[in-house]
Amino acid sequence: MAGVGLRDRQVRDSWLADGTHERFGVLANAWKETLRDAMADIAACREAAKVGVKRAIRRHTADQSEQKRLYTLLKADRWVEDRYLSRLMRTHWRRGKNRTHNQIVVRSDQHHTMIDSRGRLWLAVPGLVRRQLVKIPLNTTVAPTGTLRLILRGGRVEIHYQIDAVDMKTSARPCGARVVGVDKGYTEALTDSDGNHHGARLGALLTVESDRLKERNRRRAKLRSIANNTTNRAKADRIRRNNLGTVKRDRQAARHQAQVRTEIFTAVHRVVDTAATVVAEDLTTTFAGRGSRGRNVNRRLAGWTKGVTAEALKNVSERRGSALVHVNAAYTSQACHRCGSLGRRSGDRLHCTQCGVVWQADVNAAINVLHRHRDPDITLHTPHRRVKQIMQERADRHRTRLPVPDSSRRPAAESETSTMLNSEQ
Ligand SMILES: [Zn+2]
């Protein structure tokens, strides 16, 4: 806790004083920049934890002055002074993983690019020898600018840098004028409340990847057990080197991730083309704060995809000037948007026994999400049990307004069901 609120300059000075910096074996500029970057990550992580803590405080007490007292302590990084608050921070501020062992940050005035006689672009950065630059060939024709992050991965150097959002081509594209609700999916990235599907290739991409991973993991497990159980050292080493490496595996993973990101971002752009306000489920709360989903490939992919969708909705909205509104999504995928009663889900259909209609499940969910935007009773923080109660009351009220179904009406309702189903096919 003594480290909270420490600035990178203080850490830097203490490392310089006690000689820690001599162990790094890189130029001063490089480790200082990397340290600054790591400290900024820690601060970002801490601030993110505070969001969860504030939510917990709201649930904990309705007393305004007590809320304010806790918020103030939190804001000033003085949560240790309150036992309840310390406990909350301990749960929400998860220990991060350090990934800085393979990367370094290079300041904008420390690097430059040049083009050789064959038109290839090279990046020059400071190396270990003073005044001698390390030259890296790039596979792009666009020179990176600003502060760079160089990551060594699979025998290659990845160069990450920030592009100012206003300079991006898509930022110039105006957003639409309407209010649109969206439902995130697995087969399609998004379905909107007008009944349009966006990012239709997502399902296929994920299925292919999931099948590939299952098969690959099975083969690797088999090879690993051979390597572990054989008495032939040379053979074991050969298997580990040639069949259990990570270079190809990581490259394939990176390629798949890039494809999924493109599909999802394109889908979000298509929604924002028509929307001034996008209403969506708060995807960050449904999976944040949980660790690895274990070995289940499908669930891990689904969790990661949700994260990308949340990121895309936020980024694209900010860039193109549309508003992103998060709503409570409890029961939006199970309730009929017309009468509010809970329907029966089968595959991508939702059957409302009350109305006798079969809806396309994700379109129905997107419409429910849209309705939550102006819902007078159900807010983002309404507990889901209360949501169910409210919906039941509404469904009951809706039912009493309907004419009492008698035997002569039944066939009509049934035939409506079958026509809705047929018209969709
Ligand atoms: Zn209904």
Sign, Cα dihedral of 62, 68, 73, 75: positive
Amino acid at 206: L
Report how far residue 135's alpha carbon sits from residue 52's, in angstroms, rounded to the nearest whole number. 44
The pLDDT of residue 403? 58
Tell me which residues of the chain have a pLDDT lower than 70: 1-5, 95-100, 165-166, 284-295, 402-425
Distance 346 CA to ligand 1 centre (A): 15
Distance 369 CA to ligand 1 centre (A): 16
Helix H or strand E segment including 349: strand 349-352
Distance 306 CA to ligand 1 centre (A): 28
Three-state secondary-structure class, residue 377: coil
Report how far residue 136's alpha carbon sits from residue 150's, in angstroms, rounded to the nearest whole number. 11
Distance 337 CA to ligand 1 centre (A): 7
Phi/psi at 117 (5° precision): -65, -20
The pLDDT of residue 375? 93
The answer to whether residues 209 and 258 touch, using CB atoms and an 8 Å cutoff, is: no
Distance 398 CA to ligand 1 centre (A): 9
Where b means 16+ CB within 10 Å and e means fewer, 147-161 reads: bbbbeeeeeeeebee
Distance 283 CA to ligand 1 centre (A): 26
The answer to whether residues 105 and 28 touch, using CB atoms and an 8 Å cutoff, is: no
The pLDDT of residue 425? 32
- State pLDDT tens for residues 18-64: 888 887 777 787 788 888 888 888 888 888 888 889 989 988 888 88
Distance 183 CA to ligand 1 centre (A): 19
Which residues are paired to 352 by β-bridges?
A: 357
Distance 356 CA to ligand 1 centre (A): 7
DSSP classification of residue 214? H
Report how far residue 335's alpha carbon sits from residue 51's, in angstroms, rounded to the nearest whole number. 30
Distance of CA 263 to the CA centre of its chain: 14
The pLDDT of residue 416? 39
Distance 339 CA to ligand 1 centre (A): 4
Distance 406 CA to ligand 1 centre (A): 17
- State pLDDT tens for residues 354-376: 889 999 999 999 999 999 999 99
Phi/psi at 345 (5° precision): -95, 130
